[in-house]
């Protein structure tokens, strides 16, 4: 991974699938929640998945998709309680901490920007101390739009001005990367394997980072 640090003032980093292993989130939503929901309603796990996955697809790319309060009400589950039960699976991606230290050395403006709910961010901070590496940590719920929408980037700019052309952005979501590119972010990178237990279903059209070397 070759980054042109001389032309970067601001570093904007995603959390899940970029700095932290997406396996925690994928396991939680694809296996843990369907299992609990099935048990609660007297269904098989397969039936629970058949009922649950269309609900996920309907909300993808919206704030509801990322909102633990929404899913707690929708499913009749205490989502944060169940996330805490499997929080031992929260982990950094390989060499992510060394990369974060590099970012701190190279830039005076290092920000986490995540679609995760603040409750989830706080849980992950508790298990990783991720906050030590950032000047600011922003959740999309607090900016009123997910990162997939241009208004998110405009609101981020309004909170603390930055030069998009001189900004570095890393994320594992293709739709988010496209939104960042559309906004004018000059240095955009994708992640080759966000989930340590599964390969990407398809490659990104953006430059992909395999490991933080």
Residue 213 has pLDDT above 80, yes or no: no
Residues 137 and 52 in one domain: no
So what's the pLDDT on residue 212?
A: 87
- How far is CA 64 from its chain centroid? 14
Task: Of 212, 186, 193, give the one whose Cα is nearest residue 100.
Answer: 212
Q: What are the structure tokens assigned to 59, written together?
A: 């909300």
CB atoms within 10 A of CB 69: 13
CA dist., res. 138 & res. 116, Å (int): 9
Whether 188 contacts 172, CB under 8 Å: no
For residue 200, give the CATH number of its domain.
3.40.50.1000
CA dist., res. 7 & res. 52, Å (int): 45
Residues 17 and 97 in one domain: yes
Residues 97 and 48 in one domain: no
Residues 98 and 178 in one domain: yes
CA dist., res. 137 & res. 112, Å (int): 5
pLDDT tens string 184-204:
999 999 999 999 999 988 899
Residues 81 and 9 in one domain: no
Residues 169 and 195 in one domain: yes
Residues 128 and 203 in one domain: yes
Print the domain residue range for 33: 24-88
So what's the pLDDT on residue 126?
A: 98
Number of domains observed in the structure of the chain: 2
- For the chain, percent of residues with pLDDT exceeding 70: 100
CA dist., res. 70 & res. 63, Å (int): 9
Residues 17 and 119 in one domain: yes
What is the mean pLDDT of the segment spanning 29-57? 97
CA dist., res. 102 & res. 177, Å (int): 22
pTM score, whole prediction: 0.96
Residues 120 and 149 in one domain: yes
Residues 125 and 192 in one domain: yes
Compute the mean pLDDT over every residue in the chain, rounded to the nearest whole number. 96
Domain boundary among 33, 66, 88: 88
């Amino acid at each position: 991974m070759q980054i042109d640090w001389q032309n970067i003032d601001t570093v904007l980093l995603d959390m899940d699938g970029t700095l932290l292993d997406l396996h925690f989130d994928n396991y939680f939503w694809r296996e843990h929640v369907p299992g609990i929901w099935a048990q609660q309603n007297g269904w098989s796990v397969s039936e629970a998945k058949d009922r649950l996955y269309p609900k996920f697809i309907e909300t993808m790319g919206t704030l509801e998709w990322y909102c633990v309060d929404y899913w707690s009400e929708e499913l009749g589950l205490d989502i944060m309680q169940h996330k805490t039960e499997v929080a031992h699976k929260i982990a950094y991606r390989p060499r992510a901490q060394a990369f974060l230290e590099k970012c701190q050395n190279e830039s005076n403006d290092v920000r986490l920007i995540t679609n995760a709910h603040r409750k989830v961010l706080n849980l992950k901070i508790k298990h990783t101390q991720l906050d030590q590496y950032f000047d600011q940590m922003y959740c999309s719920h607090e900016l009123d739009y997910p990162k997939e929408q241009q208004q998110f980037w405009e609101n981020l700019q309004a909170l603390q001005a930055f030069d998009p052309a001189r900004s570095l952005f890393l994320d594992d979501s293709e739709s988010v990367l496209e939104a960042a590119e559309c906004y004018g972010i000059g240095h955009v990178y994708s992640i080759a394997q966000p989930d340590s237990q599964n390969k990407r279903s398809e490659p990104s059209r953006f430059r992909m980072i395999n490991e933080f070397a």
